[in-house]
Amino acid sequence: MLANSLIELDRAHLVHPFSCYRSHEETGVRVLKSAKGATVTDASGKTLLDGFAGLWCVNLGYGQESIVEAAAKQLRELPYATGYFGLGSEPAIRLAARLAELAPGDLNHVYFTLGGSDAIDSTIRFIRYFYHAKGTPQKDQFISVEHGYHGSSTAGSGLTAIPAFHAGFGVPYDWQHKIPSHYAYRNPVGSDPQAIIDASVAALRAKIAELGAGRVAAFYAEPIQGSGGVLVPPTGWLKALHAVCKEHDILFVVDEVITAFGRTGPLFACEEDDVVPDLMTTAKGLTSGYVPMGAVFISDRVYNTIADGAGKAPVGHGYTYSAHPVSAAVGLECLRLYEDSLLENGRKAGKRLMEGLRSLADHPLVGDVRGRGMLAAIELVTDKERKTPLPAAADPGRRIFERAWANGLVIRAFNSGILGFAPPLCCTEDDIDGILERTRMTLDQTL
């Protein structure tokens, strides 16, 4: 009864992110009621393994009491402090300092946002301030990668290169450009890692030449493309593109909103790629989804140029909830938990997950298995030889999601037939085995 009335209220009033409004009104909402460890429980009492950590964000798993306590303590002590007027709060300062210590290279300056989209939007603002301060405001063209996702803010949605975020809106803008993705399974140059790197380097060089190096402000890339289908570039890809940017004095922005905080193994995925970007965006795992927060990491060079350029005038960028003390207190506790044992547990669980998913490669529907750490995907096809995708008209994403749900598993099922996995790092061996078993069951029922 309660659930039915909630469904009606949802249908009538709650606008859901990235959803087909009319189909959602028809099917109705699934209400989640509680969660513990790597599981979530819905309003009917059904408990499921969460193979996607909410929206690849609850990296530490659910029910971490120390996070709840850190938030409650901060809420009692000081629920809000602005960063305006030269004010601040202790947790925000301590979190920025600790993150700067842990971040690669000279990413020593941290600007806190509420999530990933406004972190990306903030980088666009900072980069514009940077070039104005340098006296080269004509460097105003931005390049990103097809299949990339950089949020859905008004400006950032155009750096995102997934058509569903553009249809009916009118982005990308004319200052936003794309190069092809490294997507190894469906790359016109084939799957040889060096050929893929060479093709991306050539594409970036060509795009820079087309626009003029003196016009290009920045290049954006994810260490692993998440929402584009968990597309893992060959080792050395990020470093090769970074080198091209350095050569042309173009800022290199790494979007680690999904990949940071243990998702691929280390605290930051770009560490493994041996790349120190000029700016880096994070969110999700920063507070493990318990409260909203994102962070833009800014290098010494970029920060100092902006600061010197502004002189005694304010840099006109800021939010009411930048560096929110409750989020910062949660972030500090999350960092403690990562360092205490959960990064390590995530590495072990990730190894088991990847091995298990690779063992699904012989399944008649599985065309490709890919991933790094606790971020993985399998791509389903109807014909392995021809790599024929599942027919989109049959709505495979929704159907597979529902089957997996019935089997007690939450995964991300893209309509392209890609199944995404991003379980919490707290997963036990049994949790991982359960995710794998339920995935195989779901695939068998999809045949």
Interacting residues with ligand PLP (CB under 6 A): 115-117, 120, 149-151, 222, 226-227, 255, 257-258, 283
The CB-of-152 to ligand PLP minimum distance in angstroms stands at: 7
For residue 105, give every residue at least 6 positions away whose Cβ sits within 8 Å of its Cβ, in sequence order, or none: 276, 299
CB 315 within 8 A of CB 270: no
The CB-of-158 to ligand PLP minimum distance in angstroms stands at: 13
The CB-of-261 to ligand PLP minimum distance in angstroms stands at: 13
CB 379 within 8 A of CB 417: yes
The CB-of-284 to ligand PLP minimum distance in angstroms stands at: 6
Instruction: Count how many Cα atoms sit within 13 Å of the Cα of residue 399 in the half-sphere of its side chain.
Output: 14
Ranges assigned E (strand) in 102-249: 109-113, 141-145, 176-179, 216-221
Instruction: Count how many Cα atoms sit within 13 Å of the Cα of residue 120 in the half-sphere of its side chain.
Output: 26
The CB-of-259 to ligand PLP minimum distance in angstroms stands at: 8
Q: What is the DSSP string of 105-124?
A: TT--EEEEESSHHHHHHHHH
DSSP state of 98: H
The CB-of-348 to ligand PLP minimum distance in angstroms stands at: 24
Instruction: Count how many Cα atoms sit within 13 Å of the Cα of residue 223 in the half-sphere of its side chain.
Output: 31
Comparing CB distances to ligand PLP, the nearer of 251 and 258 is 258
Comparing CB distances to ligand PLP, the nearer of 149 and 183 is 149
Report the phi/psi class of residue 69: left, alpha or beta, with left for phi > 0 and alpha for psi in -120 to 50. Answer: alpha
The CB-of-331 to ligand PLP minimum distance in angstroms stands at: 14
Comparing CB distances to ligand PLP, the nearer of 181 and 227 is 227
Comparing CB distances to ligand PLP, the nearer of 222 and 379 is 222
Comparing CB distances to ligand PLP, the nearer of 150 and 324 is 150
Q: What is d(CA 109, CA 99) in angstroms, rounded to the nearest whole number? A: 9
- Measured from the Cβ of residue 416, the count of other Cβ atoms closer than 10 Å reads 15
CB 374 within 8 A of CB 263: yes
Comparing CB distances to ligand PLP, the nearer of 48 and 422 is 422
The CB-of-302 to ligand PLP minimum distance in angstroms stands at: 19
Comparing CB distances to ligand PLP, the nearer of 216 and 375 is 375
Comparing CB distances to ligand PLP, the nearer of 334 and 390 is 334
Comparing CB distances to ligand PLP, the nearer of 259 and 446 is 259
The CB-of-227 to ligand PLP minimum distance in angstroms stands at: 5
Tokens 């009621």 sit on residue: 33
Q: What is the DSSP string of 281-322?
A: EE-GGGTTTSS--EEEEE-HHHHHHHHHHHTTS------TTT
Determine what percent of the chain falls in helix, strand and coil, rounding each to the nearest 5.
45, 15, 40
The CB-of-423 to ligand PLP minimum distance in angstroms stands at: 16
CB 108 within 8 A of CB 98: no
Which residue's Cβ lies closest to ligand PLP? 116
- As beta bridge partners, residue 421 has 376
Comparing CB distances to ligand PLP, the nearer of 297 and 438 is 297
CB 110 within 8 A of CB 88: no
